[in-house]
Structure 1
Amino acid sequence: MRRGLLVLAATITALVAACGAAAPPSVQSTAQARAAAPGADSPVAFADERLAATADTLTPPNYPTRTTPEGTWLTKGADDWTAGFLPATLWRVYERTRDPAWRDRAVRWTQPLTAETSHDDTDLGFKMFMTFAVEHQLTGDEAAKQTALAAADTVAARFNPSVGMVRVWDDRDDETQYRVNIDAMMNTELLYWAGQNGRPQYTEIANRHADRTMADLVRPDATTFMFADYDQRTGALQRRYTEQGAFDDSTWARGQAWAVYGFATAYRYTRNPSYLATAHRTADWFTTHLPPDHVPYWDFSVPQAPPQPRDTSASAVVASALLAMSELDADPAAKQADVDGARTLLTALSSPPYLARGTTMPSILLHGTQNVPEGQADTGIQFGDYYYVEALNRWERQVGPATQLIAR
């Protein structure tokens, strides 16, 4: 990816937000105040409209996961791995606006997840960090902090020192098998945050998990495997494969995106340069292998043409990660390249083919793909909407109004 020369001046509020914490209302930046009242044509205004409609129409614990062909949300219970994304998105709108109505919505949708702290056979990092830990960061609520720490305890208990990784799913067939996927890098933020909030030993667990993920699931060419199996008695790597990609050696688009975001997050907490280098390598590969309209198909190894479905959620994840990286990079050229990459992705996502404006779909983005092998393709997806909103927040804090992202 070619690097420019512009230095982006990061405000203190933006730096704090990039580290997972938010400034109190009294120190909101000018950019935050501007973002709180976006213009009618802004993708931010459209996203707020869609989110309010979803949050006020559905009733917890019926959590929206993806859209149906009829234009409604398919919902899941609080035990589903996607259940945290609607409340997480509501918290991000509250972070930007400081409007009590958005806080009320976020609390209403967060509270039914409280009992999930001990649900260990799932992705608790997605579900519990972006809800309860973020609630604590934004409001100071002590109960939310303790709920997030309890979830971190559950995740840490799944760490196997022989493997050096946190197990993601329980295996039903082979007691020696220990399964870890690239998605699990997204669970490390809960551990890193807990390491800064009374559980210092969890930082080492997160580091060891990231190190072995980097060694075993990131290929030399910067593409990624989805899964690895290990012998939990010896820690030996047994095989690498996929469950949601096209085939074992393919590059599943969202898995590549999880790697970009996960290693950028690991660097933010540790300042380990190998993590930032891995985030850049995987991001550069992602952005340089996109089709002409800059929205990936669900897997980079399938024919890059219809009828293969797209995955807007993967672009949203990488766009948000690139903006986070732009605040972490010391090199001005790298900073500008991060912003340029995010601009390209967000402009594509905000264009008529991919933004749900003018359609009957309740989601913000169209054409997301959750799991092709299970027939979950070409829908709106709540987690795609979350990362799109998070990326828009970062854009407005760091760069300027999101109306810049609308192609004229």
Structure 2
Amino acid sequence: MKIRVISSAVALISCFSYSNAQTADLNKIFADAEKQTKVMLAEIPKAKTTGSAATVGVTPGSAGQELVSPRTLDSSKLRLVSSRDWTSGFFPGELWFLYEFTGKKEWKTEAEKYTASIEREKTNAGTHDMGFKVYCSFGTGYRLTKDAHYKEVIIESAKTLSTRFNKVAGVIKSWDNRTKWKYPVIIDNMMNLELLFAATKLTGDSSFYKIAVSHANTTMKNHFREDYSSYHVVDYDTVSGKVTQRTTHQGYANESAWSRGQAWGLYGYTMCYRFTKDKKYLQQAEKIAAYMTKHKNFPKDFVPYYDYDAPGIPNEPRDASAAAVMASALYELSLYSKNGVAYKKIADAVIVNLTKSYRSAIGENRGFLLLHSTGSKPSNSEVDVPLCYADYYYLEALLRSKKLKEKKQLF
């Protein structure tokens, strides 16, 4: 892995030049993203023709299903997944982002096509990933088009997700059929609450909102350590509602801080504050941000190692996806917090460094935008590869930075 590291001081200086010339830079960045995405669109049918398998560890229930979205590269080959995979909604979301920035009908057409392939998931109650799958695709599409059918899909999906809520434990179950856990809840699940909050906003039905708040409150109570780092997996007893164990699945160790998990928490509680205006969520987001950005192992280029406590730092894999999620979250958090100026500078620095040192060359890597992400280092799965969700949150962060500069609403 070759990464051109930019020192934090230089990165922050770069932020100012980036901000001052942001429109021109963004035009170039999105023009490059368009070129890369056209490469991806050409590669997808080729991968289908050659029988590209679903992602490593095939998503339960996806065997034999149509492969609809790109997820990563495996030995330089494009890996596609079925709609059941938790990552299936990110590529449609990227297409919507390209449409949002360019206004070009061709991107709207492609976004509609790939979004439609996710619709069957609206009744899939076997997963907590409804927000990732449906809200990143249909939710983004609805924000831009106000398509009535998209609204119906969002509401139906929220109803489906709600069936996974346990009143005793106060949380939404993450994974089914796991021998290591009985009722696992992962920090990633905070991201799926946006679907529930949106459903209440669309329908006026407060039941979705109440489930989201319960999950956020219970997660805040049980997932976080005194330093505001987060466990990855918390297992519950559904009879008593008590925690039975706290572990990790994708980080270095049970007591370590998996970097993307920290980013999920930051993004999740910032988003919760957006919908509720409850200050405890804002404070939680600020404390998570402080943990992440002030940690002794926070790299000089602001792109985290896959785990803040990985023993081989600085010779550990980076996770560009964690950086992209963090940057997008910090842009939003900058709107709400007294530390907003500092948060925006950090987000700008992350975007500068991702753009300069982590992007794919045009025409390479089957059309992915960012390199050097890490899915699950302990499983030796998707290590130092492109990942679709890194690209999604990178584009989202870029769009948020543009809106902030133009003093426009983010939502």
Same fold (TM over 0.5): yes
- The AA in structure 2 aligned to 1:349 is L
CA distance in 2, matches of 1:95, 1:314: 23
Give the deviation of 1:172 after TM superposition: 4.7
CA contact (8 A) 2:32 2:362 kept: no
Match of 2:48 in 1: none
Q: Is residue 101 of structure 1 aligned with residue 101 of structure 2?
A: no
Identify the match of residue 265 of structure 2 among 235, 238, 259: 259
CA distance in 2, matches of 1:259, 1:304: 24
Matches within 5 A, 1:277-356: 277-289=283-295, 290-303=298-311, 305=313, 307-329=315-337, 331=338, 334-352=339-357, 354-356=358-360
CA distance in 1, matches of 2:349, 2:363: 23
CA contact (8 A) 2:35 2:363 kept: no
Give the deviation of 1:359 after TM superposition: 7.1
- The AA in structure 2 aligned to 1:116 is E
CA contact (8 A) 1:297 1:304 kept: no
CA distance in 1, matches of 2:400, 2:327: 10
Q: Is residue 178 of structure 1 aligned with residue 183 of structure 2?
A: yes
Q: Is residue 207 of structure 1 aligned with residue 193 of structure 2?
A: no
CA contact (8 A) 1:253 1:298 kept: yes
CA contact (8 A) 1:229 1:240 kept: yes
CA deviation profile, 1:199-233 (whole Å, cap 9, x unmatched): 32110100010001111112110111001001111
Match of 1:42 in 2: 28
Give the deviation of 1:49 after TM superposition: 1.9
Match of 1:368 in 2: 373
Percent identity between the two aligned chains: 33
Identify the match of residue 126 of structure 2 among 110, 121, 125: 121
CA contact (8 A) 2:30 2:98 kept: no
Match of 1:52 in 2: 38
- The AA in structure 2 aligned to 1:365 is L
Give the deviation of 1:41 after TM superposition: 7.7
- The AA in structure 1 aligned to 2:329 is A
CA contact (8 A) 2:99 2:108 kept: yes
Q: Is residue 246 of structure 1 aligned with residue 232 of structure 2?
A: no
Give the deviation of 1:252 after TM superposition: 0.2
TM-score, with normalisation over the residues of structure 2? 0.83
Match of 1:227 in 2: 233
Moved more, 311-320 or 51-60: 51-60
CA contact (8 A) 1:121 1:168 kept: no
Match of 2:56 in 1: none
CA distance in 2, matches of 1:92, 1:363: 15
Identify the match of residue 73 of structure 1 among 63, 78, 82: 78
CA distance in 2, matches of 1:74, 1:292: 32
CA distance in 1, matches of 2:132, 2:202: 18
Give the deviation of 1:107 after TM superposition: 0.5
Match of 1:112 in 2: 117
CA contact (8 A) 1:40 1:46 kept: no
CA deviation profile, 1:358-388 (whole Å, cap 9, x unmatched): 5722211110001112222000110000000
Moved more, 81-90 or 295-304: 295-304
- The AA in structure 2 aligned to 1:226 is H
CA contact (8 A) 1:169 1:180 kept: yes
Q: How many residues align?
A: 361
CA distance in 1, matches of 2:38, 2:239: 49
Match of 2:7 in 1: none
CA distance in 1, matches of 2:260, 2:270: 15
CA distance in 1, matches of 2:322, 2:255: 18
CA distance in 1, matches of 2:207, 2:141: 23
Secondary structure at the aligned position of 2:326 is classed as: helix
CA contact (8 A) 1:61 1:112 kept: no
CA contact (8 A) 2:123 2:157 kept: yes
TM-score, with normalisation over the residues of structure 1? 0.84
CA deviation profile, 1:231-263 (whole Å, cap 9, x unmatched): 111111111000111111110010000000000
Give the deviation of 1:306 after TM superposition: 5.0
Secondary structure at the aligned position of 1:138 is classed as: helix
Q: Is residue 357 of structure 1 aligned with residue 365 of structure 2?
A: no
**RMSD, matched Cα:** 2.1
Moved more, 384-393 or 43-52: 43-52
CA distance in 2, matches of 1:264, 1:55: 33
Give the deviation of 1:278 after TM superposition: 0.9
